[in-house]
Amino acid sequence: MRMLLGWGLFVLMAPFPLQILAAQERTTVGGYGEVHYTNPAGPKTPPVVNLARFVVYLAHSFDDRLAFRSELEVEDAKIEGGQAGGEVSLEQAYLDYRLADWITLRTGLVLPPVGIINETHEPPTFNGVDRPGFDHDVIPTTWREIGVGAVGTVPGRSGLAYRVYVVNGLRAEGLSAGEGIREGRQEGRRASFANPSVTGRLEWARPGVKIGGSFWYGGTADTNAAVGTGTFGAPVALLSADARYESGPFALRAAVANISVSDAQAINAAYGQSVGSRIAGGYLEAAYNLLRLLAPASSQKVNAFVRHERYDTQASVPAGVTRDRSLARRVTTLGVTYKPTWNTAFKGDYQLVRNAAGAGESEVLSLGVGYQF
Amino acid sequence: MTLALALLLLTSQSPAAPPAKLAASIARLFGPGARVDTLRVDTVGVLRVSRADSLLGFAAVGNVLGKDQPITFLVAIDPTERLKDVDILVYREPYGGEVAYEPWRRQFRGKSAGDSLRVGKEIRSISGATISVHAVTLGVRRMLAQLTAWHQSGAIR
């Protein structure tokens, strides 16, 4: 981290000629990425290695208030016609106009501020080679949509921060039994704005503690009157809560979410799906930094962790759908994260992937590396 | 609503012009009405704060790079070179502003240049503000060492 002492213009403010930086244009490049080795148990499932994500962060400050920020992502290393996987996409691209500490206006492709992982998704920030399944099938990370909003901290000692946006809606056509709202995302690609949605978050922070609550509410019907009409036709309503706690060698995190799809029956009739009318679940994770015992003076970390996830994308089903109990998932992950620095991670974990039907259960060994800068 | 927003846009102060905030910070740390003199060390300004004939301490302003913007902070020490407090004078980024929260800054109080100041040990981090936490901790550590060295060498007194 570069010191900026004596860098840039000095602002002369009688009687203090101190180095408070003046407005200056600057461009910043950063990035994050992760490589995975995944080996599901069983002879018919060979191990796979994958450059899961390679993301370039590019930002530019036009002056002290106006900044552009973006993340351009390549998934699975390459895309080639006719081959499965691979994606090039923008994860974020927005302009920020900072008015004061308590309000920055933001517009562009933004991350709905839902849960822990969606906004803070750099690999060294979470345990486990892959993101929790909950953050794939319930909260569809990395979730991004186009809209406008405001972010800021509540002044004073309260330790509260907020974010609120109006963005384009989800599309009912993409909703599914197994992945919930995931494929309903439009991700900034010629997105229909027929159903604007509102999303927001309030969070409270102390050293070592962060607690947040988030919501999303918006219609999904687009122009299909058979599914719903009006701005909030066939609404998806999401509520979530999360907590992170760190003290000495201990770290705990937990997240829960509940998503109501009240017109799931109409959506299923229109698109031949078995979308649940309620999608719900959560996880609890505990970690302990083993170096606290083995090498107390070290600032590196070797976090041994265990995470238990329970979620069901058919927690409730509308008339006409028989619950598929294999969608009631229970995933236990045991692993180790070695962090030589706070922004690099070498990871290994073993996952027990179970479900209420006992069908198609598996065990997966994964190894990975991740970085951010 | 729209009108209020438009007014806010037109009237809000640039975040890089916080003399009021600096003065408020000095008043908060050393009490109101203290005398402030500016000392020059190399090219840097250091504030010497006193009341009547007694020295109350020193303060200096520094900048560290956060994710993509500098964070402007103030470090104040007392005459025994113990850190009085840290203030965030200008925070310019959308995430990580928690470093300005008093419960986080409080962790630096009473520290000396010889004390260890490491994130995750003496200084607890804040999830979602990791980059700013590391940046400000590094900046404070360096500034504290610098002020202490200047004081010990007589460059500021």
Q: What is the DSSP string of B1-52?
A: -HHHHHHHHHHPPPTT--HHHHHHHHHHHH-TT-EEEEEEETTEEEEEEEET
E-assigned strand segments in chain A = 11-13, 16-18, 26-40, 48-61, 66-75, 87-100, 103-110, 145-153, 160-167, 197-206, 209-218, 236-247, 250-261, 278-289, 301-316, 328-339, 344-355, 362-372
On the question of pLDDT at A10 being above 70, the answer is: no
Q: Tell me whether residues B63 and A28 touch, CB distance under 8 A.
A: no
Nearest to A20 among B89, B127, B142 (CB): B89
Q: Quick check: A366 and A349 in contact, CB under 8 A? A: yes
The pLDDT confidence band at residue B22, using thresholds 50, 70 and 90, is: confident
Question: Coil, helix or strand for A244?
Answer: strand
Six-digit token pair at B2?
């729209």
> Closest-CA residue in chain B for A211?
B127
For residue A15, give the 3-state DSSP assignment. Answer: coil
Alpha carbon of A266: minimum distance to chain B alpha carbons (Å): 37
Residue A114 pLDDT: 98
- Per the CB < 8 Å rule, is A20 touching B125? no
In this complex, do A208 and B19 lie within 8 Å of one another by their Cβ atoms? no
Task: Say if CB A312 and CB A327 are below 8 A apart.
Answer: yes
Is residue B123 predicted with pLDDT exceeding 80? yes
Beta bridge partners of residue A94, listed in sequence order = A69, A108
Q: Give the residue-averaged pLDDT of A89-116.
A: 95
Q: Collapse the DSSP code of B123 into the 3-class scheme (helix H, G, I; strand E, B; otherwise coil) and give the result.
A: strand
- Interface pTM, i.e. ipTM: 0.83
d(CA A180, CA A314): 8
State residue A18's pLDDT score: 66
Residues of B in contact with A70 (CB under 8 A): none
| Buried/exposed code over A200-234 (b: 16+ C-beta within 10 A; e: otherwise) | bbbbbbebbbbbbebbbbbbbbbebeebbeeebbb
Q: Indicate the class that CATH gives domain A25-372.
A: mainly beta
Residues of A in contact with B8 (CB under 8 A): 99, 103
Cβ atoms B99, B129 nearer than 8 A: yes
pLDDT, tens only, B52-98: 889 999 999 999 999 888 899 999 999 999 999 999 998 888 888 89
Q: What global pTM score does this model have?
A: 0.89
DSSP lists the bridge partners of residue A364 as A40, A351
**Interchain pair A16, B45: CB under 8 A:** yes
> What values do phi and psi take at A76, rounded to 5?
60, 30
Within 8 A of A159 by CB-CB distance, chain B residues are 98, 101, 103
Q: What pLDDT score was predicted for residue B93?
A: 86
Among chain B residues, CA nearest to A101: B91
pLDDT in tens, A327-340: 999 999 999 999 99
Nearest chain B CA: its distance from A16 CA (Å)? 6
The pLDDT of residue B11? 58
Q: How many CA atoms lie within 13 A of A201 on its CB side?
A: 24
Binary contact (A207, B125; C-beta < 8 A): yes
A14-25: per-residue pLDDT in tens?
344 566 666 678
| pLDDT per position as a tens digit, A303-320 | 999 999 999 999 999 999
Q: What is the mean pLDDT of residues A282-286?
A: 98
Q: Is the pLDDT of residue A6 over 80?
A: no
Instruction: Compute the nearest-CA separation of B9 from chain A (Å).
Output: 7
Domain ranges of chain A: 25-372
User: What residues of chain B lie within 8 A of the CB of A116, using their CB?
Assistant: 127
Q: Shortest CB distance from B103 goes to which of A13, A119, A207?
A: A207
- What does each C-alpha distance from A24 to A27, A60, A189, A256, A291 come to in angstroms? 10, 10, 33, 42, 42
Tell whether the model's pLDDT for residue A180 goes beyond 50.
Answer: yes
Asked if the Cβ–Cβ distance from A22 to B120 is below 8 Å, we say no
Distance, in Å, from the CA atom of A31 to the CA atom of A42, rounded to the nearest integer, reads 35
Does the pLDDT at position A359 exceed 80?
yes
pLDDT tens per residue across span A131-142: 999 999 999 999
Mean pLDDT (chain B) is 88
pLDDT at residue A11 greater than cutoff 90: no
Does A350 score more than 90 pLDDT?
Answer: yes
Radius of gyration of chain A (CA): 22
| pLDDT at residue A353, as a whole number | 96
CB contact under 8 A, A69 and B68: yes
